[in-house]
């Protein structure tokens, strides 16, 4: 099983800031999918580069891809737009769950514009860029992700 974690950050990609959220997400994935191969990458807030990396991992057969960052209201926050460009179908409930659960701890969670959905058999979910926000958002939807991945895997084994 291949999982991907894509950090989207101008500052981190330029070496001006250290990515703490991406590695924290990788650690959470390792705890929940111990045998998975986890790919990680870092790109600037550039829609074409985001799309390119997401498509590459989908083509590689990644079952789950998490993006970290680029979901806010800033002018360069374009991760949801890039994600939607390559999705076949959206799964808005995942993003809605993260915002609703996150808002119980931090009302600014409602400002996240993260998207989620499927490209082929790859589930892609946008997480916030802060370490705390990314961890809490992922923890909030882990049971949903597990079930969603089982459903997608089941559809491969039982084509209609």
- Tokens found for residue 54: 């997401």
Number of domain units in the chain: 1
Contact 22, 40 (CB under 8 A): yes
Give per-residue pLDDT as tens, 36-93: 999 999 999 999 999 999 999 999 999 999 999 999 888 899 999 999 999 999 999 9
Question: DSSP states of 34-94 as a string?
Answer: TT-EEEEEEE-S-HHHHHHHHHHHHHHT-SEEEEES--SSSTT--HHHHHHHH-SEE-HHH
Dig out the tokens for 3 from the structure.
Answer: 């999982």
pLDDT at residue 160 tops 50: no
> CA-CA distance, 150 to 147, in Å (whole number)?
5
What is the model's pTM? 0.92
pLDDT score recorded for residue 14: 86
| CATH number of the structural domain spanning residue 67 | 3.40.980.10
Q: Residue 50 is part of which domain span?
A: 2-157
């Amino acid at each position: 099983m291949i999982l991907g974690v894509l950090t989207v950050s101008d500052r981190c990609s330029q070496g001006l800031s250290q990515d703490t959220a991406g590695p924290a997400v990788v650690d959470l994935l390792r705890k929940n999918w111990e045998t998975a191969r986890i790919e990680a990458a870092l790109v600037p807030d550039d829609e074409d580069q985001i799309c390119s990396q997401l498509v590459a991992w989908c083509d590689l057969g990644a079952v789950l891809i998490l993006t970290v960052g680029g979901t806010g209201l800033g002018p360069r926050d374009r991760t949801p737009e890039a994600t939607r460009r390559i999705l076949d179908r959206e799964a808005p409930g995942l993003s809605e769950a993260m915002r609703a659960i996150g808002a119980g701890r931090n009302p600014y969670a409602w400002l996240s514009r993260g998207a989620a959905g499927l490209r082929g058999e790859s589930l892609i979910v946008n997480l916030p860029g802060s370490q705390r926000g990314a961890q809490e958002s992922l923890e909030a939807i882990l049971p949903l992700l597990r079930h969603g991945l089982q459903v997608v895997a089941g559809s491969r084994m039982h084509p209609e």
